[in-house]
Amino acid sequence: MHMHSFIELSKLFEEKFNSRHFPEQPETLYNPAQYILNLGGKRIRPVCVLMGNQLFNEIDPDAYNAAAAIELFHNFSLIHDDIMDKAPMRRGMETVHTKYGESTALLAGDVMFVKAYEYLNKIKLAQLQKVLYLFNNTASAVCEGQQLDMDFENRETVSMDEYVYMITLKTSVLVAASLKLGAILGGAGEGNQNHLYEFGKNLGIAFQVQDDYLDAFGDPEKFGKQVGGDIVANKKTFLMIHAFETAKPAQLSELKELIKTNPADKVEKVMQIFRDCKVDDWAKELKNIYLQTALKHLEDTAVLSVRKKPLQELADYLMRSKTGGGGWGGERGKTKKRGEGKKFFECVWIKADRVLEFFSVFRI
């Protein structure tokens, strides 16, 4: 059996998904919903459904229904999160609320969530209960992660465990669940389903660590944006939280003062504290821990090694990338003040486009 690559599966999904998903009337509701779907992206989450499915069997037609539901849910969350972030642009175009107004954008997101369930309802009854259980739990988790992110904005410090938990909910569980949905529909046993879920979850965290690292220590030319954008924006990242937890009293006082006063040389001085605390070495080690955990779960998945190759190649590409890419969740998982997306939007999306197009869908 031919194992499709990510790019091949992306094309297959796009052929089926690239159509109008909503009625014509009222066009004031359904055109805004269709608008965000037409903005593109390489649909990594739905393609992960197909990748999880083909790992165990020929691609089941129901996998395309689950994949469509995942993509619709994801875009529903983007519409609402853009409102919360006051983001003016997405994928180089106006956000739904900017173009059509906030009230319409809220309704467009709502109807998109309903449409996701219409696709799930097409799945064969034998698998539907398991699929709905996972989908519903995942949707709730994403909302919980978003709320935690907003809660963290009003706190001076956030612990590493709290941050990892938050970005797991916001950035990783939807990808992990996408892989597991495909596995369920492919007839995988529960052990294999869970291994694939953990693979996706840990790979997502590894990529977020890498993105945080590259924002501070990446090559600006390869990174596609100014280095230190997260520092300028006072974002709580893996690096900043670790610096808070490991800095000596004098360094900690300086760090807090730099965040409070925002001097012209803030990036340079924060970077020096990062180096003094060996945050750069720590971040590279942490990324590798999550990556190796992910790959161990893939290795422990009980299928022939040749069938795992597309997922191994995906993980390898992401971790070899010199540019980063908006993280597994783009701006998701980086606690920030609402509205800061305006100031840094363009450079963030240049970065996302540079790494690989299929991460241009991320930004919560």
Residue 64 has pLDDT above 60, yes or no: yes
The answer to whether 88 and 105 are in contact (CB under 8 A) is no
pLDDT at 353 > cutoff 70? no
Q: Which residues contact 136 (CB under 8 A, 6 or more apart)?
A: none
What is the structure's pLDDT at 92?
A: 86
Q: Is the pLDDT higher at 155 or at 63?
A: 63
Confidence of residue 207 (pLDDT cuts 50, 70, 90): confident
- Write the CB contacts of 285 (distance below 8 Å, at least 6 apart in sequence): none
User: In the prediction, which pLDDT does 318 show?
Assistant: 75
User: What is the pTM assigned to this prediction?
Assistant: 0.85
Neighbours of 159 (CB within 10 A): 12
Cis-peptide into 26, omega within 30 deg: yes
Least confident of 33-42, 169-178, 298-307: 33-42
For residue 59, pLDDT over 70 is answered with yes
pLDDT at 352: 34
pLDDT at 224: 57
For residue 240, what pLDDT band results from cuts at 50, 70 and 90? very high
Q: What integer best gives the mean pLDDT of the chain?
A: 87
**Domains of the chain from N-terminus onward:** 6-201+306-359 (1.10.600.10)
Nearest CA to 186 out of 4, 73, 295, 64 is that of 64
- Averaged pLDDT, 315-330: 57
Query: Which of these ranges, 67-71, 172-176, 225-229, 315-319, has the smallest mean pLDDT?
Result: 225-229
pLDDT at 217 over 50: yes
Dig out the tokens for 123 from the structure.
């799945």
Torsion of CA 315, 316, 321, 322, to 10 degrees: 130
Model pLDDT, residue 225: 59
Exposure string for 16-55, b = 16+ CB within 10 A, e = fewer: ebeeebbeeeeeebbbbbebbbebebbbbbbbbbbbbbbb
CB-based burial label for 285 (10 Å; 0-12, 13-18, 19+): exposed
Residue 346 has a pLDDT of 32
Residue 348 confidence (pLDDT) above 70: no
